[in-house]
Chains A and B, each alone.
Chain A
Amino acid sequence: NAGVTQTPKFQVLKTGQSMTLQCAQDMNHEYMSWYRQDPGMGLRLIHYSVGAGITDQGEVPNGYNVSRSTTEDFPLRLLSAAPSQTSVYFCASSSRDRGSYEQYFGPGTRLTVT
């Protein structure tokens, strides 16, 4: 079991460029989410999905798009990168089984926008 994997580990973009952060999980989890982590602010939810074909916005969705075509994959797209999107991005997944709820996190992608 690889758990939750994220690529790339590091990325530097210029303002206005676009890119996709990849996330995959092999635990057959229904629920997946994207967070960004900024110093002193904890983790903030960007987008989440409760299953293939279903996505919804979190706390800070502006500037990001997601799609969920399979259970395993949940990519995050930055359409036109801005310096304010410099952050560490984490993908997480969890089961919808009653009594579970804990989320499993990937290792993160450190993004710098210049």
Chain B
Amino acid sequence: AQSVAQPEDQVNVAEGNPLTVKCTYSVSGNPYLFWYVQYPNRGLQFLLKYITGDNLVKGSYGFEAEFNKSQTSFHLKKPSALVSDSALYFCAVRDIGYGNNRLAFGKGNQVVVIP
């Protein structure tokens, strides 16, 4: 089965510093990978995805992610963190099956940006 792992529970970063949220994946075949963000008491919002093509994917709110096939990683990055980036971040991988878009999620990373 497809799966992703987010090894850190919480990431603390000072405002203005680079932010990295880690994700590794395990799939059979080519991976379809996603990042979502959840603000308090809200639903999940799509940030970006990797389907094919360039290994560096740009998404919403200044976020980007780097797909690394040899390391089976898809880390989320932002060059300069804002206090408003404090949220819960989920990595997900699309399950492989005819006619469905099932996603398998990681457990999430709490990001705290310190003013």
Residue A94, interface by CB 8 Å: yes
Decide if the interface of chain B is mainly helix, strand, loop or mixed: loop
Select the stretch in B12-20, B39-47, B68-76, B77-85 that faces chain A. B39-47
Taking a contact as CB atoms under 8 Å apart, the answer to whether A107 and B101 are in contact is: no
Query: Which residues of chain B come closer than 8 Å to A41, judged between CB atoms?
Result: 107
Q: In the assembled complex, how far is the CB of residue B54 from the closest CB belonging to chain A, in whole angstroms?
A: 15
Q: Which residue in chain A gives the minimum CB-CB distance to B34?
A: A102
Q: Which residue in chain B gives the minimum CB-CB distance to A94?
A: B101
Taking a contact as CB atoms under 8 Å apart, the answer to whether A105 and B90 are in contact is: no
Decide if the interface of chain A is mainly helix, strand, loop or mixed: strand
Contact with A along B84-99 (1 / 0, CB 8 A): 0000001000100001
Number of A-B contacts (CB under 8 A): 60
Q: In the assembled complex, how far is the CB of residue B97 from the closest CB belonging to chain A, in whole angstroms?
A: 9
Q: In the assembled complex, how far is the CB of residue A70 from the closest CB belonging to chain B, in whole angstroms?
A: 18
Taking a contact as CB atoms under 8 Å apart, the answer to whether A42 and B90 are in contact is: yes
Option from B36, B42, B45, B49 in Cβ contact (under 8 Å) with A101: B49
Interchain CA distance A40-B106 in the complex, whole Å: 9
Residue B103, interface by CB 8 Å: yes
Q: Which residue in chain B gives the minimum CB-CB distance to A6?
A: B43
Taking a contact as CB atoms under 8 Å apart, the answer to whether A108 and B43 are in contact is: yes
Taking a contact as CB atoms under 8 Å apart, the answer to whether B100 and A90 are in contact is: no
Among B22-48, those with CB < 8 Å from A are 32, 34, 36, 41-46
- B100, B105, B107, B108 — which one has the most chain A CB atoms within 10 A of its CB? B100
